[in-house]
Amino acid sequence: MKIEWTESTPRKIQRFPGADYPKENPDLEDVLTSADADYVAEIFQTPLTGAYNWDYRIQDDRIKKLYDLGKQLNWDPEMDIDWDRPWPDEARSPEMMNLHDYEPYLAMDEKTKDEFWLHMNAWSLSQFLHGEQGALLVASQLCSCAPTLNAKLYAASQTFDEARHVEVFNKYLQQRIGLTYPINTHLKSIIDKILTDERWDMKFIGMQIVIEGLALSAFNTTRETTPDPVLKDVVYLVTRDEARHVTFGVNYLEEFVKTLSDEEREERAQFAYEACVVSRERLVATDVFRHFGWDVEEARIKVLDGFVMSTFRNLLFQRVVPNLKRIGLLTDKIRPKFEELGILDYENLTTDGDIDWSALERPLDTGEAQSHEQSMLAAFAAEHEKQEQEATPASSAA
C-alpha cells in the first residue's frame, strides 16, 4: 500500500474514464492516478478529549429510538439502487445561475456549454462527497467524546451511515459523471474547525445542526430538480439517514445547552453563526469558473446577484435556524447577525426535534417524495412571485 502524504488539499480535478454520462468527457489532466499514489492523505491534528461511560443502563429515550431505527433502515448502494438506468434528456438552466445574459457563457459553443453543465453537476456532487467524508470523521470522533452511552451507540451507527454516503456519492461521481472536483475551501475550513475543536458539543453544533441541516435542504432540492432517476434514489436514501442525524443533534443538545453559562452559550451561538456565514459561501462554484477561464470574482458576483441563487442560499437555512432557536443558540446578542443574513424569518418553522416518526419508520420507497421537498419548492416559488410583484410598480413608474 502506497500513501502520498500532503500538507494541503489537492486542488486539481480528477477524471474517471468510462463514466455513463452521455456526453464526451473533457480532456482533463489526471492528478490522482495509480501511477502517482495508491492513496493521497492529508494529516490534521486534534486535541480530542475522549470519555469512557461506565453506566451501561440504556435509557429508553428518543436517542435510543433513533439508534434502533438506524439498525432497521440500513440500505446497500449495490442492492437498493438500480445503476443501469439510462440518462434522460437534460435541459440547461442558465437562468437558474443568472448566466442567461452573461457574455462569457453566451460566447461558448454548444459543446463547451455541455461541458460547463457537466462540470457544474460534478462540482456540486463533489461537495456532497467531501462533506460526507467530513461527517464520517466527525461521527467517529463522537464515538469517543460523547459523554453518554446512548450517544456513543448512536454515533457508531451514524459513522456507518456516513461511510455508506461516501461510498454512494463516490460511485455516482465515478460511474455516472466521470469527474470529481476538490473540496470547496470554505467547506474545508468549517470541517477543519469542527474536527480540531476539543469540545464535543462544538462538533455536534457544527456537524449535526449546521452542515447536516444544510445538506438536508440541498439533498431535497437536488432530488426535485435532477432529471437522473439514479441520483433521485441516491439522495432520497441519504436524506432518510440525514434526517435522523439532525434529530439526534437537536435532541441531544437541547438539554445540554441549558447547563452552560451565559458566556459559554454565547460562544457557541457565535460559532454557529460563523459556520452559517462560511456555509453560504461554499455554494458558489468558483473552481468551475476558474477552470473555464472566467474572471472568478466577476462570475461569483454575477451568480450571487441572481434571484434564484440569493433566494436558494436563504432557503437552505429553513431547517438550521429553527433548530438553533430550539437548542437555545439564537440568543438576543446573536439574533441581529442572523437578521442581517436575511434568514431570521425561518426561526418559527417546525424543528427537527419534532420529527415525523411515522415517516422514518416506513419501508424504503425511493418513489415517494418527502413532503419537505414540496414545501421548500413552494416557499421558493412564493418568494419568487412576491419579489416579481414588488418589482412591478417600480418598473411601471419608470
Taking only the tens place, the pLDDT of each residue in 30-60 is 555 555 567 888 888 888 888 899 888 877 6
Q: Which domain holds residue 53?
A: 3-397
> Using the 8-state DSSP alphabet, how is residue 183 labeled?
P
The model carries a pTM of: 0.85
Q: What percent of the chain lies above the pLDDT cut of 70?
A: 83
Q: What is the mean pLDDT of the chain?
A: 84
Mean pLDDT of 321-340: 94
Distance CA 249, CA 66 (A): 11
Q: Which helix (H) or strand (E) holds 222?
A: helix 212-225
Mean pLDDT of 293-304: 93
**Higher model confidence: residue 386 or residue 137?**
137
Distance CA 134, CA 186 (A): 13
What's 11's domain CATH number?
Answer: 1.10.620.20
**Higher model confidence: residue 41 or residue 324?**
324
Given a contact cutoff of 8 angstroms between Cβ atoms, the answer to whether 203 and 142 are in contact is: yes
Tell me, what's the pLDDT at 379?
A: 55
Given a contact cutoff of 8 angstroms between Cβ atoms, the answer to whether 329 and 269 are in contact is: yes
How many of the other CB atoms lie within 10 Å of CB of 191?
22
Nearest to 163 by CA among 137, 142, 141, 136: 136
Given a contact cutoff of 8 angstroms between Cβ atoms, the answer to whether 210 and 274 are in contact is: no
Nearest to 369 by CA among 244, 226, 210, 247: 226
Distance CA 15, CA 20 (A): 13
> Using the 8-state DSSP alphabet, how is residue 47 labeled?
-
Q: What total number of domains does the chain contain?
A: 1
Distance CA 296, CA 96 (A): 18
| 3-state SS, residue 159 | helix
Nearest to 194 by CA among 270, 254, 149, 138: 138
Nearest to 241 by CA among 62, 50, 22, 69: 69
Distance CA 345, CA 320 (A): 12
Residue 10 phi, psi dihedral angles, 5° rounding: -60, 140
The predicted-structure confidence for 124-180, as pLDDT tens digits, reads as follows: 999 999 999 999 999 999 999 999 999 999 999 999 999 999 999 999 999 999 999
The predicted-structure confidence for 249-296, as pLDDT tens digits, reads as follows: 998 999 899 999 999 999 999 999 999 998 887 778 999 999 999 999
Q: What's the grid cell of residue 314?
A: 436563504
Tell me, what's the pLDDT at 90?
A: 66
Could you give the angle at the alpha carbon of 286 between the alpha carbons of 285 and 292, nearest 5°? 100
User: Which residues in the chain belong to E strands, given as ranges?
Assistant: 3-6, 14-15, 39-42, 179-180
pLDDT at 364 over 80: no
Query: Strands 14-15, 179-180: parallel, antiparallel or unpaired by DSSP?
Result: antiparallel
Q: What's the grid cell of residue 320?
A: 438550521
